[in-house]
Amino acid sequence: MAEFLRTRRDRITPDQAGIIGGGRRRVPGLRREEVAMLAGVSVEYYARMERGDLTGVSPEILDSIARALQLDDAECDHLADLARAAGPPPPRRRKRPTEQTVTPTLQRFLDAVTGAPMWVRDRRLDFIAANPLGRALYAPMLDDPANRGNTARFTFLNPAARIFFPDWEQNADNIVATLRTYAGQNPLDKPLTDLIGELVTRSDTFRHRWAAHNVRHHRGGIKRIHHPAVGDLEFSYEAMDLPANPEWFMFAYTAEPGSPTEERLKLLGSLAATGQTTSDARAHRSF
């Protein structure tokens, strides 16, 4: 919480906050007293929050802080998650553990979609399941055991990711922000914190991004991929929750009708049917 509030405060200038005559300052961001004034709380109260002490902080105060710091939807949710994690633990209820498995029904649903790559991942960005086209699309990641089927590990520890993702910088920013969001929602998720610890230790680029405390909702957008078998692809994608498996998320990638990506997807599907989805299939490319 302390680091998150400080990084949000540092990025807003007095002009952006509507403060006239901010005076000379060593850093461009807002001072604590300015955030407190904008939020309608005392400086001591806000300073206590920025030290990580959220005792007695109400949702209304969090909303005021969010408005003062001009937080977006993902940042507002992250602030609430951090406040919840910093508060007293909820009463423990004995829950029967449920094993997260790919049911035949889910796999049949994925396989029934033949014209678009579909795949499922968890909060640690582990690849869980896919239809044949989804597996073919992510074959460069899945075929290398060093990635262990993990998108974040592939992105930051495998040099091939910078070719596979033409927009690597943006992709890397999004992955770190997504992991930061999930970590705020469940700071006691040991596999997730283990993955983050591994990436912080092994990747300078991950560590620098992690220190920025950025968060985002992964709901939809554009994804560009350079596949070694069929070349450049550009998709629109949608993310979907799976209520039966709350830790999992399903993604569907679609191509514009009549676009080069649509044609190349058809080729990728043909290559997948014959087991050729990596670099040895380049000889089959006709464009």
CB contact at 8 A, 87 and 93: no
Starting at the edge strand that comes first in sequence, how are the strands of the sheet with 231-241 ordered? 127-130, 118-122, 248-254, 231-241, 220-227
**CATH 3.30.450.180 domain range(s) in the chain:** 104-284
Q: Dihedrals φ, ψ of 205, to 5°?
A: -65, -35
The pLDDT tens digits of the residues spanning 93-144 come to 444 445 578 999 999 999 999 999 999 999 999 999 999 999 999 999 999 9
**Average per-residue pLDDT for the chain:** 89
**CATH 1.10.260.40 domain range(s) in the chain:** 2-86
Terminal Cα distance for the chain, rounded = 51
> What's the CATH class of domain 104-284?
alpha beta
Say whether pLDDT at 278 is over 80: no
Please give the Cα distance from 42 to 32 (Å, whole number).
10
Mean pLDDT of 208-236: 95
The pLDDT tens digits of the residues spanning 24-69 come to 677 778 999 999 999 999 999 999 999 888 878 899 999 999 999 9
Q: Dihedrals φ, ψ of 128, to 5°?
A: -100, -50
- Which region holds residue 253: left if phi is over 0, alpha if psi is between -120 and 50, else beta? beta
Q: Following CA atoms 100, 113, 174, 193 in sequence, which dihedral angle do they give, to the nearest 10 degrees?
A: 10
Among 136, 157, 184, CA closest to 5: 184
The pLDDT assigned to 89 comes to 57
CB contact at 8 A, 147 and 284: no
The pLDDT assigned to 85 comes to 84
The CATH homologous superfamily to which domain 2-86 belongs is lambda repressor-like DNA-binding domains (1.10.260.40)
Say whether pLDDT at 209 is over 90: yes
The pLDDT assigned to 226 comes to 98
> Residue 146 — very low, low, confident or very high, per pLDDT cuts 50/70/90?
very high
Percent of residues, the chain, with pLDDT higher than 90: 75
